[in-house]
Structure 1
Amino acid sequence: MPAPERIPPRSVTDLDLLAKGELTVRGQVREASNAVLFCSVAYEGEEASCVYKPVAGERPLWDFPDGTLAQREVAAYELSEATGWGLVPPTVLRDGPYGEGMVQLWIEADPSASLLGLVEDEEPGDGWKAVGFAEVGEGRTALLVHADDPRLRRLAVLDAVINNGDRKGGHLLPTADGRLYAIDHGVTFNVDDKLRTLLWGWAGEPLPASTKETLTEVGRALASGEPLATRLAQLLTAAELDALRARVTGLLGAGRHPAPSGEWPAIPWPPV
């Protein structure tokens, strides 16, 4: 039996490809509230699909400074990489056909993967966590649940760290090889508590020991003068960076997953 053909390693990293490659716009994601362009990017013989979100196409928000969503997307990637969890696709800030914007590797989700569901029972089944009851029409309600999945649990912690104000079901991209990626991190890193998410299933539960170790390392990396802190200082305000450090310290001090504060809608709308 002949040996399988060996696939040569890529000579270009994803970040180099995204940052240095030639961007070609192929289409637009119409459902998005801001301009989201589907592109191809090519560099030194490598090519990939990606998403390009130009700053010029951002819709102003009352609670975020204008023209900052792309930087927040990149900052979320930096934090994801600092944890070692690899939950955010490779993301860079660069110039493009419509000016500066965020460019992120396109991820093909596995349509057969199931991470969210609605059940008519009062309690979630084995392997699921309850989020809350939702109206499903005709006066009926159903229990919204998410998978009791360690990948989602890490993402719930990352969202608490970056203060994600919009974690919807459509932002979860499980892949056929068992990875989980999360996208759309423009409304993050606010100084005020903005956490809105579907991933409340672990609210109030103790953080896993491995998660606390990771947060401890992230806290060290956020110290002034450290490489991560220096990179984030180019993407966030000084107040936002201080608030980020405070959230990490607060999570470690509490030792538990956060619970809804009651001062802000806990679940984004629409949830999916």
Structure 2
Amino acid sequence: MTALAPPRLPTILPLGLARGALELRRFFRSRETVVFTFALPTVLLVLLGSVFGDHAEAQGVTSSQVLAAGMIAAGIMSTTFVSLGTDIAGDRDDGTLKRLRGTPMPAAAYFIGKVVLVAVTTVAQIVVMLTVAVAMFDLSLPDTAGDWLTFAWVFALGVVGCSLLGIAISSLARTARSASAVTQLPYLALQFISGVFVNPITALPTGLVVTASFFPVKWMAQGFRSVFLPDSMAAYEPAGTWELDRVALVLGAWCVIGLVLCLTTFRWRRGQDG
């Protein structure tokens, strides 16, 4: 008799996609997580946009529209940096990471699952925010292929960079309970100093603007403003231009920095587990 060939084990990609489907089911079954993840940036957009109202920043552009364009960066950071930072810290705290590390599942499959989760939730978040911005504040969607291309690469670099930083910062949280504070503090602080909540950004003290320039949020918001606002609004940026080449450079650098931080700091176990 011919010996039966051993069954072929699934490759990394199918395992990762299956893990991603599991991550999505777990995410959407947690009502508190879904509401907080999607509600915070959108509620802030509605509240602050209503406060700013139709105050004109320039001819044909209102403060609420400037806010709405920059708030897309806040939405991306919420579904990537904040969500991954707290979620992975929770997986480490309850022993999920330790158990997964002891199974034949490749480590890459776990992170592919997180990528699937982030991709779906981030796209959904941006769709919600743009719908609100267009309906409530008359934000105009891009009407040229060039603007959509700029939106695509700013979005992609922002998602990758913030996701990697979220994975890295998860190692700073000692417990799942402390992870929220560890992620929310830089999230909210960066929105203020990066000109998302304060428009124009040149109204901020120079020291804060310089500090914000070292972090990705300021450049994401600036890139999105270049997409959704007329070119005349570039005069309200610190350099007087959109500086899209520098936006790409800084966001690309943070992707590299985030990857290095992940590789050097990520822990599969809690500190007390050894």
What TM-score results when the alignment is normalised by the length of structure 1? 0.27
Q: Which has the higher strand share?
A: 1
Greater RCO (CA < 8 Å, at least 6 residues apart): 2
Larger radius of gyration: 2
